[in-house]
Every structure is written in structure tokens, then in C-alpha cells.
């Protein structure tokens, strides 16, 4: 289980609930504003080069792209990629936020949901999501994370987390049971779900010992000492999570590039972390 938010641009109201397990709104408008001011790598409001599979006819790719981006121009929708599917005439279209949808050759009709190979019981959609959501772990801005080393720190995991998310707190209590792990917490508050989350994230970052305060708050429920605001990466790490297509917290990123959304109890979580180191 995890807490989620709606697609950052309120994409296509009719299908938003189908795309997300739980409703929400953008992580923070301030995060987007700060991202623009800092010229970050976020692609919101910037044209993108759509990646088109070689088996997709050029006229089909053009029609789908133009139709969707015209129909949802007010929401800044971008078509990121178009590929074929096992169903003739149905195309996989990845749009802003790395969300997978399916359309006909014109883009006039859209489907949202899992494409299932019934013989094997495989979700082709989930398999594609795993590929699309791969992250270059070593390229993460670790200086913008709250770092904790337990034991020799041999195992590594990054977590995008909201300081007021109950599932994030449950995850932290499970992480506290682990030994020999290095944890990098990137704060990704979702104020639409937790109105005070962004303020708490800044307060935690500005502490003299942010790791200690983070653990005390998340694992023990101890109050966050009040400090003066300081320069902080909260808007940047929030925008980073959004650029990866993370729609909720907690989201774990492993050294092999794979991601895992939601809370897992021990010992299952430790097994997953060990299996995804390389």
C-alpha cells in the first residue's frame, strides 16, 4: 500500500482515477516554480522528441501525437513514446509522467489499464512500466538526500518519501530493523494529501542533525524542533521524483535501476533490497 497523487498536470480528468490507486493533486506548485527558476531537467512545459518504434507508421505517430497534444494542450500533455502492441491497431502511448495509455491509430480513442497476456497471466503493462521506470541509481543527487548508514552499509537503497505519509513511516520502522544498509531518503512531500508535509520537509532538512531528526519523527513520532528555514533541496527532489514518473510515496529505488512503489514489511523488504543490488 502507498499514498498516491494525481498526475502532476491533472491529465485527462476522465481517466485520472484509473491511472492512480488513490487520488491526489500535484506535489507542490512551488516545486514546479522552483524547478523552472533553477533550470532543472524537468520536462514540464518543454517540447520533447517523441520516441517512435520502427514498426509504427510515421503518419500514425504524427496523428496520435498531434491529436493528444492538441486535445490536452491546456494541460501541457507531452507524448513521450509510441510503440505497437500485440493487438493490431492498438498502440502503446507513454505520456507525461511516464504514464502508459493505449490509443487507436488516430488518437481519438484511448484506453487506460493493464494489457494482459491471458495465457501466461502476465501484465504487459507492468512489464513496460518496469522498463520505463528504471533509474540510474549512481546518478542520483545523493548530496540532496538524508543519509543513514546502518552497520557496514553494504546494501543500498534510495527512498522517495513524504514526512507525513503513514506508509512512509511504516516503511521507516521496518528499515530500522535492518543491519548493514545505507539508506538515502529523498523528500517528496505531497501537500494535496498532507497539507503540512512541505513545511516539515524543510524543517527536517534544516536541522543540525537531519538524519537523527528524520528518524525520530518518522520512526518514533517525536516532534520536529523548530529551526530557521535554510537553503534546501525539497522542491528539487520533489520535481526529480515527478520526472521519474513517481506518483506516490514511498517509492524505493535500487542500485540495479529497478523501483518498488509502496510499503513492504520485513523480512520481505530486505529480500527485495538484496535481490536488486546489481
Supply the pLDDT for residue 126.
86
Domain-terminating residue out of 79, 99, 132:
132
Name the average pLDDT for the chain. Answer: 84
**According to the model, what pLDDT value does residue 244 have?**
87
Are 253 and 182 found together in one domain?
yes
| 264 & 143 share domain | yes
10 Rama sector, left if φ>0, alpha if ψ -120 to 50, beta otherwise = left
Q: Are residues 82 and 169 in the same domain?
A: no
- Please tell me the total count of domains within the chain: 2
| 103 strand-pairing partners | 91, 110
Instruction: Check residue 10 and give its pLDDT.
Output: 38
User: Per-residue pLDDT tens for 167-219?
Assistant: 999 999 999 999 999 999 999 999 888 999 999 999 999 999 999 999 999 99
Q: Are residues 117 and 193 in the same domain?
A: no
Tell whether 7 and 88 lie within a shared domain.
Answer: yes
- The residue segments making up the domain with residue 188 are 137-275
pTM here is 0.69
| CA 226 from centroid of its chain's CA atoms | 29
- pLDDT, residue 3, reads 47
From 68, 99, 132, the end of a domain falls on: 132
What is the domain-level CATH number for residue 195?
3.40.30.10
Look-up of cell digits 520535481: 239
Check pLDDT > 60 for residue 251.
yes
Percent of residues, the chain, with pLDDT higher than 70 = 83
Last residue of a domain, one of 93, 112, 132: 132
Q: How far apart are CA 54 and CA 35, in angstroms?
A: 34
**Which is higher by pLDDT, 258 or 24?**
258
- Sorted by sequence, the CB contacts under 8 Å of residue 168 that are 6+ apart come out as 3, 159, 161, 162, 218, 249, 250, 263
CA dihedral sign, ordered 53, 59, 63, 69: positive
| Predicted pLDDT of residue 159 | 97
Amino acid at each position: 500500500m502507498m499514498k498516491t497523487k494525481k498526475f502532476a498536470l491533472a491529465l485527462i480528468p476522465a481517466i485520472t482515477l484509473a491511472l492512480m490507486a488513490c487520488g491526489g493533486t500535484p506535489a507542490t506548485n512551488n516545486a514546479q516554480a522552483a524547478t523552472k527558476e533553477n533550470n532543472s531537467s524537468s520536462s514540464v512545459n518543454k517540447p520533447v522528441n517523441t520516441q517512435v518504434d520502427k514498426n509504427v507508421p510515421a503518419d500514425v505517430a504524427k496523428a496520435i501525437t498531434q491529436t493528444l497534444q492538441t486535445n490536452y494542450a491546456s494541460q501541457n500533455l507531452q507524448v513521450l513514446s509510441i510503440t505497437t502492441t500485440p493487438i493490431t491497431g492498438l498502440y502503446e502511448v507513454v505520456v507525461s509522467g511516464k504514464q502508459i495509455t493505449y490509443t487507436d491509430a488516430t488518437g481519438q480513442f484511448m484506453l487506460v489499464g493493464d494489457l494482459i497476456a491471458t495465457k501466461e497471466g502476465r501484465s504487459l503493462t507492468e512489464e513496460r512500466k518496469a522498463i520505463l521506470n528504471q533509474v540510474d541509481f549512481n546518478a542520483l543527487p545523493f548530496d540532496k538526500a538524508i543519509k543513514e548508514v546502518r552497520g557496514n552499509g553494504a546494501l543500498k537503497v534510495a527512498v522517495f518519501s513524504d514526512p507525513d505519509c503513514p506508509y512512509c513511516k511504516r516503511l521507516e520502522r521496518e528499515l530500522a530493523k535492518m543491519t548493514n544498509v545505507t539508506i538515502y531518503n529523498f523528500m517528496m512531500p505531497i501537500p494535496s494529501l498532507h497539507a503540512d508535509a512541505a513545511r516539515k520537509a524543510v524543517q527536517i532538512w534544516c536541522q543540525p542533525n537531519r538524519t537523527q531528526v528524520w528518524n525520530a519523527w518518522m520512526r518514533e513520532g517525536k516532534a520536529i524542533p523548530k529551526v530557521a528555514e535554510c537553503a534546501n533541496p525539497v522542491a528539487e527532489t520533489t520535481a526529480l521524483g515527478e520526472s521519474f514518473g513517481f506518483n506516490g510515496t514511498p517509492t524505493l529505488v535500487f542500485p540495479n535501476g529497478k523501483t518498488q512503489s509502496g510499503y513492504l514489511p520485513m523480512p520481505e523488504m530486505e529480500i527485495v533490497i538484496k535481490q536488486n543490488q546489481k
